[in-house]
């Protein structure tokens, strides 16, 4: 057999394969369908529960049974994804309208996970049965083969309301994500009805009904005026705050009670929120907190913060809004699958798509019902006609040899082979002309149907059937009639399942927090050779002076209102507020400098640590490995950013010395090869921090500056190099940008 080798570019195969994978994730996994608001895993789980008969009015069934059946029949992507979807559909703190009724531990608002599927039970909610799964038996949606073509599953559920808006959705696909907030069922239904009555209605008019998102956790949306633009485009940011109440406590104290939280805070973020509040107190951002307690229960959220007697509660609440997630944002991106492809839609587009879908479903439903009623009418008319000539029918049946002979007589008027009592009966029998469906109904009719009351009931059913046919034809032929039917269904759902709005929509002023300035006090900064740092009071230093200077790499006075400046070998300046550094006892370990600044010990080395106050009073000398020198006014480093560039470095260069210049007159550069150059500091020009500087010394090809010293004229300056003492001021005074002298030690 000849081989057929197809040659193609590897990049083309990779591109095609990745696009196929991406589209599969987008369409078949991560994004909801705009028509029923469900992702495939949710749709399959609900349909499987429907097929298993786990309905709202029947007993709960084990979640493991539901998950296993769904995975085996419709969703072969692992039990975890199915159970996770089932759990989320039960959680009333995540969904505006839970679609599954859970029995057991399905997690809570504080982030505790659900119990294993073998322990929990579930069944459909009534609204799911009536609003999403009703009419599936009426051929209203297309059914498609499952993954192995052994079962059929609906391509979409016949949703009677815009579930995408009511329950919202979140999902991450490939290169795109969806984030749709939940809304109030009653408001969404009213907006849908308004669109049905007037397709030209604007988004602004629709928002008379849909005020904004209605999060199950409540809260306050603070940017009401921005919502119109968000709902027009389907994108934007919704600002939401938790609800706070001020309560009087014993002893004249005040309690700040959080009763509703922002929707993004649900889960583990509640614990983080409590930790953030505690950190505000530990870092002395506020001194007003006496106690924090989380008294939340099944009845709702209740986080109590007890304040000091003289605390400003309103200012404290504003601090929580500014410095914690009590005020947060919900990023809106209303992306869903529309006509087989992902599309970002506004409020009106989503409602339009759902209404168009409802019209398609209703058209199929009433076409099917009409066809069934017409068949029913045909049979009923045949039975009524047969009752009027029942004696003749009985004579035909008694005179026929088999069912086929009798049926031919009833349908085609063929009387051959049938024994009749009279010639007149034969003539009448040849003129009956029933339809085939009518003839079958007559032949299947039981004798009790000939009772008078049964005949009256048959006539009554026929009248009802005719009325139904008239009604269905009217619904199918007139849009107004169809719309009214849909509106009636929506009104029924609203009456039974709508609830009061939980989230308040308003325009709130930005929280303004006046941070109390701490009383200025003198502190001592300590940092050991391992980078652990702390502050102590000067009296503590006096008592432990000898040990402090032995153990500390950097030690200097500072103020609690000031900043600490860290110069690194990469030319960066990192600043830290003194209040961010832990204050304590001399023997306290402290905290790594990496944890409270942008400095990274893995990438940088510290050259100098000093206080901002000292820098403002003096000038600073910079010396690099390649002998580049400059003097910069210390005031240039009084910056607000946490990290800035302190100096410009050439390629492969780094800082070896940063010195705060107070009373020194000379600088000495020592190189790796043992060359020394001493010259006056006055020869180094003052430049801006963004400058490279000037060359201070001529270096050999493989030499570099290893150490820098500073001395005062006429003052002995001994240093130990290789265990030998050298008086730096004994070195010959030279000039900048010379080679210097090699000193043998």
Tell me which of 31-45, 290-304, 453-467 is least confident.
453-467
Report the pLDDT value the prediction gives residue 378, as an integer from 0 to 100.
86
Q: Which residues pair with 568 in a beta bridge?
A: 606
HSE, side-chain direction, 13 A CA sphere, residue 665 = 9
CA dihedral 656, 661, 666, 669 (to 10 degrees): 0
Containing 444, the helix (H) or strand (E) segment is helix 436-444
Q: Indicate whether 551 and 688 sit together in one domain.
A: yes
Question: Which pLDDT value is given to residue 569?
Answer: 93
Are residue 303 and residue 366 in the same domain, yes or no?
no
pLDDT score of 517 more than 70: no
Q: For 714-733, what is each residue's pLDDT tens digit?
A: 788 888 887 788 888 888 88
pLDDT of residue 426: 83
CATH number at residue 113: 3.90.199.10
Instruction: Scan for tokens 């059914």, then name that residue.
Output: 143
The pLDDT score that the predictor gives to residue 26 is 67
What residues contact residue 37 under an 8 Å CB cut-off, 6+ apart?
159, 162, 163, 164, 165, 166, 167, 169, 336
Maximum pairwise Cα distance, the chain: 155
pLDDT range class, residue 4, cuts 50, 70, 90: confident
Give the pLDDT confidence score for residue 256 in this predicted structure.
92
Specify whether 530 is located in the same domain as 674.
yes
Pairwise pLDDT comparison (17 vs 83), residue with the higher score: 83
Of 723 and 593, more confident: 593
pLDDT single digits (tens) 668-677? 999 999 899 9
Same domain, 408 and 475: yes
Among 530, 608, 616, 621, CA closest to 573: 608
pLDDT of 88 > 60? The answer is: yes
- The answer to whether residues 598 and 465 belong to one domain is no
Q: Rounded mean pLDDT of 244-265?
A: 89
More confident residue, 445 or 528: 528
Which residue is it, tokens 């705009």? 34
CATH of residue 256: 3.30.1360.40
Model confidence at 453, in pLDDT bands (50, 70, 90)? low
Q: Tell me if 305 is assigned to some domain.
A: yes
- Residue 193 within a domain: no
CA distance 13 to 742: 66
Average pLDDT over residues 643-648: 92
Does one domain contain both 111 and 154? yes
Are residue 492 and residue 538 in the same domain, yes or no? no
CB 364, CB 421: distance < 8 Å: no
Range of 465's domain?
362-496
User: What is the pLDDT at residue 626?
Assistant: 94
pLDDT of 605-625, one tens digit each? 999 999 999 999 999 999 999
Query: How confident is the model at residue 719, as a pLDDT?
Result: 85
Q: End of a domain among 137, 158, 179? A: 158
Count up the domains in the chain and report the number: 4
Check pLDDT > 60 for residue 272.
Answer: yes
Report pLDDT for 584: 82
Residue 24 sits at φ, ψ, to 5 deg, of -65, -45
Q: Which helix (H) or strand (E) holds 632?
A: strand 628-633
Q: How confident is the model at residue 449 (pLDDT cuts 50, 70, 90)?
A: low
pLDDT in tens, 177-225: 899 999 999 999 999 999 999 999 999 999 999 999 999 999 999 999 9
Active site residues: 119
Which pLDDT belongs to residue 745?
Answer: 65
Taking the whole predicted model, whether its pTM rises above 0.75 is answered as: no
Helix (H) / strand (E) containing 237:
strand 235-241
Quick one: average pLDDT of 659-673?
A: 91
pLDDT grade, residue 575 (50/70/90)? very high
pLDDT score for 448:
66
Same domain assignment for residues 382 and 459: yes
> Residue 540 corresponds to which tokens in the numbers above?
């503590």
309, 325, 341 - which closes a domain = 325
Give the tens place of pLDDT for each residue, 5-28.
777 777 777 877 767 666 666 666
Q: Do 486 and 529 belong to one domain?
A: no
Give the residue-averaged pLDDT of 632-646: 91
Q: What is the mean pLDDT of residues 557-569?
A: 92
Grade residue 655 by pLDDT with cuts at 50, 70 and 90: very high
Give the H or E element holding residue 362.
helix 347-388
d(CA 738, CA 727): 21
pLDDT in tens, 471-490: 999 999 999 999 999 999 99
Q: What's the per-residue H, E or C state across 189-227?
A: HHHHHHHHHCCCCCHHHHCCCCCCCCCCCCCEECEHHHH
Question: Which pLDDT belongs to residue 1?
Answer: 52
The Cα 247–Cα 257 span in angstroms is 7
**Residue 532 above 60 pLDDT?**
yes
Which residues are within 8 A (CB) of 519 and not within 5 positions of it... i.e. 6 or more apart?
A: none
171 within some domain: no
Tell me, what's the pLDDT at 329?
Answer: 93
Residue 53 domain-assigned? yes
Q: Are 306 and 255 in contact (CB under 8 A)?
A: yes
Assess if residue 279 is contained within a domain.
yes
Share of the chain above pLDDT 90, in %: 56
Name the least confident of 84-93, 411-420, 441-450. 441-450
Whether residue 322 has pLDDT greater than 80: yes
- Tell me if 320 is assigned to some domain: yes
Helices and strands of the chain, counted as H and E runs: 21, 35
CA 572 to each of CA 566, 568, 598, 608, 652: distance values in angstroms, whole numbers, following the listed order: 8, 6, 10, 11, 15
DSSP letters for 632-698: EEGGGG--SSSEEE-S---TT--EEEEEEESS--EEEEEETTSEEEEEEGGGSPB--TTS--EE-B-
Look at residues 343, 245, 348 and name the one whose alpha carbon lies nearest to residue 301: 245
How much is the pLDDT for 23?
Answer: 67
Question: What's residue 105's pLDDT?
Answer: 94
Give yes or no for a contact between 470 and 183, defined as CB atoms under 8 angstroms apart: no
CB-neighbour burial class of residue 510 (10 A; exposed 0-12, middle 13-18, buried 19+): exposed
Query: Tokens for 657?
Result: 């010395």
279 in the same domain as 394: no
| Statement to judge: residues 313 and 374 lie in one domain | no
Is the confidence at residue 363, as pLDDT, over 80?
A: yes
Q: What is the CATH number of the domain that holds 366?
A: 1.10.268.10
Please say which residue of 108, 125, 158 terminates a domain: 158
Give a yes or no: residue 388 inside a domain: yes
Say if CB 169 and CB 180 are below 8 A apart. yes
Residue 737 lies in a domain: yes
- Which one is predicted more confidently, 173 or 143? 143
Q: Residue 349's pLDDT band (boundaries 50, 70, 90)?
A: very high
Residue 410: how many other CB atoms lie within 10 Å: 26
Lowest mean per-residue pLDDT among 101-105, 252-256, 382-386: 382-386
**312 versus 488: which is more confidently predicted?**
488
Report the mean per-residue pLDDT for the chain.
Answer: 89
What is the three-state SS of 19-50? HHHHHHHHHHHHCCECCCCCCHHHHHHHHHHH
Band of residue 516 on the pLDDT scale cut at 50, 70, 90: low
- Does residue 278 sit in the same domain as residue 369? no
Question: The domain spanning residue 692 has which CATH number?
Answer: 2.120.10.90
H/E run at residue 152: strand 152-154
């Amino acid at each position: 057999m000849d081989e057929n080798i197809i040659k193609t570019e590897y990049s083309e195969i990779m591109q095609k394969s990745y696009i196929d994978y991406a589209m599969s994730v987008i369409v078949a996994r991560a994004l909801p369908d705009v028509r029923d608001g469900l992702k495939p895993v949710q749709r399959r789980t609900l349909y499987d529960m429907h097929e298993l008969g786990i309905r709202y009015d029947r007993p709960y069934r084990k979640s493991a049974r539901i998950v296993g059946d769904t995975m085996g029949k419709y969703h072969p992507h692992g039990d975890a994804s199915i159970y996770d979807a089932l759990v989320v559909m039960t959680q009333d703190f995540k969904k505006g309208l839970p679609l599954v009724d859970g029995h057991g531990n399905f997690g809570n608002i504080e982030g505790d996970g659900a119990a294993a599927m073998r322990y929990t039970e579930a069944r459909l909610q009534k609204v799911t049965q009536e609003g999403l799964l009703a009419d599936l038996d009426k051929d209203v949606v297309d059914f498609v083969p499952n993954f192995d073509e052994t079962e059929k599953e609906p391509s979409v559920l016949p949703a009677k309301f815009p579930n995408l808006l009511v329950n919202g959705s979140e999902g991450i696909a490939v290169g795109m994500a969806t984030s749709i907030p939940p809304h109030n069922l009653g408001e969404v239904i009213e907006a849908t009805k308004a669109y049905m009555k007037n397709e030209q209605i604007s988004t602004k008019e629709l928002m008379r009904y849909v005020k904004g998102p209605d999060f199950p956790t409540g809260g306050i949306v603070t940017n009401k005026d921005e919502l119109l633009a968000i709902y027009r485009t389907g994108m934007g940011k919704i600002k939401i705050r938790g609800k706070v109440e001020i309560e009087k406590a014993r002893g004249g104290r005040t309690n700040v009670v959080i009763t509703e939280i922002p929707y993004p805070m649900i889960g583990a973020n509640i614990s983080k929120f409590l930790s953030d509040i505690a950190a505000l107190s530990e870092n002395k951002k506020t001194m007003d907190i006496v106690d924090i307690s989380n008294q939340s229960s099944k009845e709702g959220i209740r986080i109590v913060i007890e304040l000091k007697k003289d605390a400003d509660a309103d200012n404290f609440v504003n601090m929580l809004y500014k410095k914690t997630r009590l005020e947060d944002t919900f990023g809106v991106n209303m992306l869903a699958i529309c006509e087989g492809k992902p599309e970002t839609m506004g409020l009106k587009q989503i409602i339009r798509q759902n209404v168009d879908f409802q019209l398609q479903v209703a058209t199929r439903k009433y076409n099917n019902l009409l066809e069934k009623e017409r068949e029913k009418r045909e049979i009923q008319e045949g039975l009524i006609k047969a009752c009027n000539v029942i004696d003749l029918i009985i004579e035909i049946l008694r005179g026929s040899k088999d069912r086929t002979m009798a049926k031919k007589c009833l349908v085609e008027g063929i009387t051959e082979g049938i024994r009749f009592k009279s010639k007149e009966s034969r003539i009448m029998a040849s003129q009956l002309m029933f339809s085939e469906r009518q003839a079958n109904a007559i032949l299947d009719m039981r004798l009790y149907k000939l009772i008078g009351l049964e005949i009256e009931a048959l006539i009554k059913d026929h009248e009802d059937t005719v009325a139904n046919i008239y009604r269905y034809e009217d619904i199918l032929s007139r849009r107004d009639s169809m719309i009214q039917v849909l509106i009636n269904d929506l009104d029924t759902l609203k009456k039974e399942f709508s609830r009061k709005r939980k989230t308040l929509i308003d325009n709130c002023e930005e929280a303004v927090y006046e941070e109390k300035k701490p009383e200025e006090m003198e502190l001592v900064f300590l940092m050991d050779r391992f980078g652990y740092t702390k502050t102590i009071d000067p009296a503590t230093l006096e008592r432990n002076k000898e040990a402090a200077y032995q153990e500390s790499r950097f030690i200097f006075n500072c103020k609690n209102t000031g900043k600490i400046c860290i110069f690194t070998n990469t030319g960066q300046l990192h600043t830290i507020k003194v209040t961010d550094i832990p204050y304590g006892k001399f023997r306290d370990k402290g905290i790594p400098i990496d944890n409270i600044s942008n400095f990274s010990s893995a990438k940088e080395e510290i050259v100098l640590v000093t206080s901002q106050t000292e820098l403002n009073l003096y000038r600073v000398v910079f010396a690099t490995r390649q002998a580049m020198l400059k003097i910069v006014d210390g005031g240039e480093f009084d910056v607000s950013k946490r990290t800035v560039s302190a100096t410009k470095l050439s390629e492969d260069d780094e800082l070896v010395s940063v010195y705060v210049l107070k009373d020194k007159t000379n600088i000495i550069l020592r190189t790796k090869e043992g060359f020394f150059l001493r010259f006056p500091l006055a020869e180094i020009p003052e430049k801006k921090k963004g400058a490279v500087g000037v060359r201070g010394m001529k270096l050999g090809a493989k030499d570099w500056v290893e150490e820098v010293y500073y001395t005062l004229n006429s003052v002995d300056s001994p240093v130990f190099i290789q265990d030998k003492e050298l008086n730096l001021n004994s070195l010959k005074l030279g000039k900048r940008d010379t080679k210097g002298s090699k000193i043998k030690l």
